[in-house]
C-alpha cells in the first residue's frame, strides 16, 4: 500500500470510488436497467404477438383467397353451363318458331291461293256474263225481228257451254 501512496494513489479513495461505482451500478440496475429490460421484454412480446397475429391473418387471407378463387371457378363453370343451356334453349325455340312460321306461311299461301281462285272464278263469271250480254245484243241487233230473243239466248248459251 505504501507503494501506491508513493505513486500518489490513495487506496481509500480507490475503495470509495469502487463502492460509489458499485452503488451507482446497483441504483442504475434497479432504477433504470430492470425497467428498461421489462419494457423491452414487453415490447418484444407485443411485437411477437403482432407477428403471430399477422401470420394468422396471412394464413386466413390465403384461405379466403383460395376459397374466393374456387368460388369464382365454380361460378364461371355455372355461368358456362347456363350460357350453354340458354344457347340450346334459344336454338330449340328458334327451330320451333321457324316450324310455326313455315306452317303459317303454308297456310297463308293456301288461303291466298283459294282467294285468288275464288276471285278468278268470279271474274271469269262476270266476264262470261258480260260477253254473253254483248253477244246477245249484237245477235239481236243483227236478227232483230226475224228470230225470237229466247231462241237466240238459248243458242248462245249452248254454244258457250260447248267451248268451255
pLDDT tens per residue across span 38-57 = 999 999 999 999 999 999 99
Are residues 137 and 154 in contact, defined by beta-carbon separation less than 8 angstroms? no
Confidence at residue 98, expressed as pLDDT on a 0 to 100 scale: 95
Q: How many CB atoms lie within 10 A of CB 23?
A: 10
| Residue 132 Cα to chain centre, angstroms | 73
Confidence at residue 7, expressed as pLDDT on a 0 to 100 scale: 75
Low-confidence ranges of the chain (pLDDT < 50): none
Amino acid at each position: 500500500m505504501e507503494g501506491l501512496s508513493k505513486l500518489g494513489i490513495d487506496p481509500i479513495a480507490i475503495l470509495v470510488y469502487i463502492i460509489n461505482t458499485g452503488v451507482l451500478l446497483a441504483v442504475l440496475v434497479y432504477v433504470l436497467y430492470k425497467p428498461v429490460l421489462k419494457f423491452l421484454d414487453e415490447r418484444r412480446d407485443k411485437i411477437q404477438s403482432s407477428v403471430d397475429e399477422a401470420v394468422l391473418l396471412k394464413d386466413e387471407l390465403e384461405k379466403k383467397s383460395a376459397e374466393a378463387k374456387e368460388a369464382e371457378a365454380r361460378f364461371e363453370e355455372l355461368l358456362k353451363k347456363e350460357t350453354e343451356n340458354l344457347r340450346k334453349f334459344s336454338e330449340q325455340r328458334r327451330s320451333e318458331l321457324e316450324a310455326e312460321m313455315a306452317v303459317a306461311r303454308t297456310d297463308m299461301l293456301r288461303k291466298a291461293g283459294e282467294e285468288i281462285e275464288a276471285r278468278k272464278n268470279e271474274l271469269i263469271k262476270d266476264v262470261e256474263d258480260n260477253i254473253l250480254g254483248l253477244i246477245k245484243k249484237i245477235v239481236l241487233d243483227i236478227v232483230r225481228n226475224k228470230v225470237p230473243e229466247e231462241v237466240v239466248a238459248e243458242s248462245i248459251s249452248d254454244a258457250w257451254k260447248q267451248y268451255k
